[in-house]
Structure 1
Amino acid sequence: MSDLISTIDPSIAVDGKTGFDTSHIAEVKAWLVSQFEAVGKDVPDFEYTPRSVAHLHSLVTVSQAKTQAAGIVAADLRQKAVEYRSQAARIKEILENVGLAQENLSTNAVASVQVLANVANLLNIRDTEISSYLVAMGDISLRKTGVEEKRAKVQKESRVLLDYTRKAIARLTYLKRTLAHLEDDAANCEAQMVHWKTNLAIMLQKEQQYIQQYYNYKALLNRVGYTSDISHGVLVEMAEHREELEKKTKPILDTLRSYQDLPPDKALAALAIEEKRRQYTAAEKYLEDVLHSALATTE
């Protein structure tokens, strides 16, 4: 009864008539009496409201429909049972007429027939013809082949998954070793980080110092009139021009330096020149004497 209630569409019960329907109440009461009498109980007292009557009437309709369907199925099964009994009696009569009654068969024959029947039931075939057995066996063979193919596929996938699992385990082991190594190096790295932090603080101080020096030098260059036109290329060109000027002025400077030994007065300069001439004449005479003495010694 609970199964029938669960199959009722709720909209049917909710949309029932708002007023009492005598025919519906009579059908509901008759159905309730029949159902409770079937289990040996009395119908419990309850209030018949439009909602409850509508719901119970819907339940009655579904129950009667299912009862009718069950009756049709039961009648069909009874008819089939009668037909099977009739066919069994006819087959038994035929077997008795040909001397193949069960009483006349040996124990081995009965066992063989029973085995054939069991195999037929197992193979889900209707008769014991060889063709039926062959078809059933072929179907089983095909299903076996399909199962073997699926099994081979599953085994292949299992091997692939096993290979992946082994690789994953190896990678996990490697990562664990790497993690342990990194944990061991953590202390050294922390000390190095402290050293780097100290150096970073010093570098920051140096940076501030260099920035301040940069601004100071920039202010100094602005004060002395430095412009962006004075670049490295310009300085190189000026240096090359200076070298060229030095090459041109060096002979003149050498000549001028030779005149620095002369007195500034003209008379004194003439006397100095005359003194140089006498020294030159004396040197020539001394050279001639040396040459004559050398020639005389040779002769």
Structure 2
Amino acid sequence: MSDIVGGPDPSAITSVTAESSKTTGFDANRISEVKAWLTSQFDAVGKDVPDFEYTPRSIAELHKIATLSQAKTQASAIVANDYRQKAAEYRSQAARIREILESVGLAQESLPSNVVSSAHVLAKVANLLDVRDTELSSFLVAVADLSLRKTAVEEKRAKVQQESKVLLEYTRKAIARLTYLKRTLSQLEDDIAPCEAQMENWKTNLAIMESKERQYLQEYGYYKAVLNRVGYTPEISHGVLVEMAEHKKDLEKKTKPILDTLRSYQDLPPDKALAALAIEDKKRQYAAAEKYLEDVLQSALASSE
């Protein structure tokens, strides 16, 4: 067996093991203990110890297992010896009780069958109730203890049933929610295709809107440059222009009679002095009209500011 575990030469193995323990930290005593334990274990089942490499890790694990196995073996041996001793004591006590019963004529062979049956039933009940004598008080105490345990078991059973009902209700709700979620998932899966089509449409519209935005920005820049080129300012708003147009119409109405009069003068025979006076008069009227128009424009611009 040692040849199988350690190799063909035990002395060579011992020397190699010693050298390896010096270099790699092996414990020769621990290795020998592990070898002895492996040999005993495999010999017990009639098998040879398989070959394997002795490494620090394997030796440490095997030594740990061997120590634990030996401790459990010793504990089981102690328990087994105790059980054997108790069995011997029970057998001797049974023999003594049998001798006493036979001496008083109460041997099992001489008893009626119904008495034997009753004794067996009484023994089974005693074993069931875990009593060691046949006293009525012991039976009553055992029955009371059994009743208490029965009550406790019933209470636990009722509690477990209540918890089972609660869990069943939770399970039903969870199943209902799961069904609802599955139905919702199915609806969402059905809505995927229309939503994707709608998204594609939105993407197309977005691209068109971005193109329009760039176009409008270009047009805005062009028109802004045109307005800057013609001298447009924010003070010239639509309201100001409308007001100026209304004043222009009023001035045209006022100057129309004057223009008609001037046109009538064109049909008169030429009179240089009168024509000069008329022209000077119309120039004054025209200058007054221009000044009035300028005042109106200035007041309109001032009110817009």
Q: TM-score, normalized by length of structure 1?
A: 0.51
> 1:138 deviation in Å?
1.8
Structure 2 counterpart of 1:236:
239
Of residues 67-76 and 154-163 in structure 1, the stretch that sits farther from structure 2 once superposed is 67-76
Question: Residue deviations 1:226-276, cap 9 Å, x none?
Answer: 23x3364xx4256447657866x588557647856865769x99xxxxxxx
Structure 1 counterpart of 2:172:
162
Structure 1 counterpart of 2:159:
149
Aligned mate of 1:226, from 203, 227, 232: 232
> 1:206 deviation in Å?
3.6
Contact 2:101/2:107, CA 8 A, preserved across alignment = yes
The count of aligned residue pairs is 229
Distance 1:107 1:101 in 2: 12
Distance 1:65 1:181 in 2: 70
> 1:168 deviation in Å?
0.9
Structure 2 counterpart of 1:15:
27
Structure 1 counterpart of 2:142:
132
Structure 2 unmatched runs, 5+:
1-20, 50-55, 275-305
Structure 1 counterpart of 2:52:
none
Structure 2 counterpart of 1:114:
120
CA, structure 1 residues 123+181, in 2 after alignment: closer, same or farther (shift >3 Å)?
farther
Distance 2:45 2:207 in 1: 98
Aligned mate of 2:83, from 67, 77, 80: 77
> 1:85 deviation in Å?
2.9
Question: Residue deviations 1:109-149, cap 9 Å, x none?
Answer: 43343234334434544445221132133223312421331
> 1:180 deviation in Å?
3.4
Contact 1:125/1:136, CA 8 A, preserved across alignment = no
Greater Rg over alpha carbons, structure? 1
Letter in structure 2 aligned against 1:132: A
Structure 2 counterpart of 1:281:
none
Distance 2:220 2:172 in 1: 67
Distance 1:193 1:63 in 2: 72
> 1:157 deviation in Å?
0.5
SS of aligned partner of 2:150: helix
> 1:220 deviation in Å?
1.2
Distance 1:58 1:88 in 2: 45
Q: TM-score, normalized by length of structure 2?
A: 0.51
CA, structure 1 residues 109+257, in 2 after alignment: closer, same or farther (shift >3 Å)?
farther
Please report the RMSD computed on the Cα atoms of aligned residues, expressed in angstroms: 5.4
Letter in structure 1 aligned against 2:27: D
